[in-house]
Structure 1
């Protein structure tokens, strides 16, 4: 069993009945040995009936083990049936990559919303992850918020496998639908100049309509801010609320341009908080957004 398999199996033993776990083990064995497709589809559909939909009872040690198995994997919000369905997906024969992708395509095509969430959040765990980029891009385009968030948030797949164009669209959509950006794995690592332009253009549209923007919008901007973007940050520092000012200060601190540092120095309290490490993007997400990873 792979490390991911072992962890999921261990967590099910902790959270589900012996009878339910035995059922999953039996189905895994049948699927892995090449059982007819209907065996997989029938089992995949029936998982909630046998395992229930309670949340997995994971400890901090369990979450650390998940990170060690795959950096960015955060199953803290997973349910028992989601873990069970992921085990069945992992049992599908995958020696022939193209045949495996064809099998997976059939599952996606017939999946309901709950099943799609499982499919997308399990993408980084599945064999041949480099072949699932098109599927991930489809998830990003989904109008179902649960499905979009299953690929965009707490999921390392986009940062590890999407190209910049798909990645940038995902981040912009997350801003548009008010998803918390700090739950996007690899946000800082994948920040890029084109994304900074897209986000500041979006901010201008919102301002023109007399609407606000999430302060997190500035997080991917700072390192790539040009003179016009620094003028935007100056506006936020002058007119924004506390959260907006803190976000703009952090963005200025990340900019290599002297005018950004000069702008930040005009706000000594914020400047000092950043310099002393009291104000970071992590502390900002925790204290200002009231959303915990």
Structure 2
């Protein structure tokens, strides 16, 4: 994702002149972003952007405003997140990978992941989540499973998922089986991929164990 892609996707927003004016103002007077940022939903709309799946017009406009800042990106990202409503916070989280903030935005991810807002949690697990340490990232993925947040939206999930996450997922599956509850299909699929990798290393016996484990999970969910 780049600012140019965001700008292209926003062609035809309800008030393009307002957006152009806001971007110029923020580039020359950074403090004005605190006035323009909340207004983006009303001036640019809140509709989904077909050219940017997963983004809405207000999120894209707000991300552009943050990229227009000449300096202090981390400070303004923190201020706008702390003062913003849920939609504004999602925009800040989605903008983080586009900003030169290093790891300064990680506390915002931790805050979002602690909430029960599924859209905030999903936004926190985007590309910027590469800055989360492994333990925090695993806990965040497990929370996605608890909240039925689609794992397809978790950036780099297959690359980062490991044996420890497999153990956590297996434990959750066992708890839900005992309670007569189901696991989301994407979580079962991820666990299968992780145990498949371990079985490949362990040899044929591991494959048999994996098949038995999947059969047990499916039987529990069908019961």
TM-score by length of 1: 0.65
Q: How many residue pairs were aligned?
A: 212
Q: How does 1:206-225 map to 2 (within 5 A)?
A: 206-222=176-192, 225=195
Q: Which runs of 5+ in 2 are unaligned?
A: 213-223
Counterpart-to-counterpart distance in 1, 2:194 and 2:45:
47
Counterpart-to-counterpart distance in 1, 2:35 and 2:47:
21
Q: How does 1:118-137 map to 2 (within 5 A)?
A: 118-137=91-110
- Report if aligned partners of 2:27, 2:68 keep a CA contact under 8 Å in 1: yes
Higher relative contact order (CA 8 A, sep 6+): 2
- Give the aligned partner of residue 131 of structure 2: 161
Counterpart-to-counterpart distance in 2, 1:208 and 1:198:
16
Q: C-alpha displacement at 1:224, in angstroms?
A: 5.6
Counterpart-to-counterpart distance in 1, 2:197 and 2:4:
44
Q: Which runs of 5+ in 1 are unaligned?
A: 59-74, 226-250, 267-293
Change (3 A) 1:6 1:176: same
Is the counterpart of residue 55 in structure 1 residue 48 in structure 2? yes
Secondary structure of 1:134's partner?
helix
Change (3 A) 1:262 1:197: closer
Q: C-alpha displacement at 1:265, in angstroms?
A: 8.2
Secondary structure of 1:31's partner?
helix
Counterpart-to-counterpart distance in 2, 1:161 and 1:177:
22
- Report if aligned partners of 1:156, 1:185 keep a CA contact under 8 Å in 2: yes
For residues 66-89 of structure 1, what are the alpha-carbon distances to aligned partners after superposition, in whole Å with 9 as ceiling and x for unaligned?
xxxxxxxxx312122221111111
Secondary structure of 2:78's partner?
helix
Is the counterpart of residue 41 in structure 1 residue 41 in structure 2? no
- Give the aligned partner of residue 75 of structure 2: 102
Counterpart-to-counterpart distance in 1, 2:209 and 2:172:
23
Secondary structure of 1:76's partner?
coil
- Give the aligned partner of residue 63 of structure 1: none
- Give the aligned partner of residue 202 of structure 2: 257
For residues 5-57 of structure 1, what are the alpha-carbon distances to aligned partners after superposition, in whole Å with 9 as ceiling and x for unaligned?
222222212x325xx2222111111111134x2x2121111112222222223
Counterpart-to-counterpart distance in 2, 1:264 and 1:102:
48
- Give the aligned partner of residue 84 of structure 1: 61
Larger Rg: 1
Is the counterpart of residue 16 in structure 1 residue 9 in structure 2? no
Counterpart-to-counterpart distance in 1, 2:180 and 2:121:
27
Q: Cα RMSD over matched residues? A: 2.5
For residues 199-236 of structure 1, what are the alpha-carbon distances to aligned partners after superposition, in whole Å with 9 as ceiling and x for unaligned?
111112112222222233344445664xxxxxxxxxxx
Secondary structure of 1:127's partner?
coil
More displaced stretch, 128-137 vs 255-264: 255-264
- Give the aligned partner of residue 25 of structure 2: 30
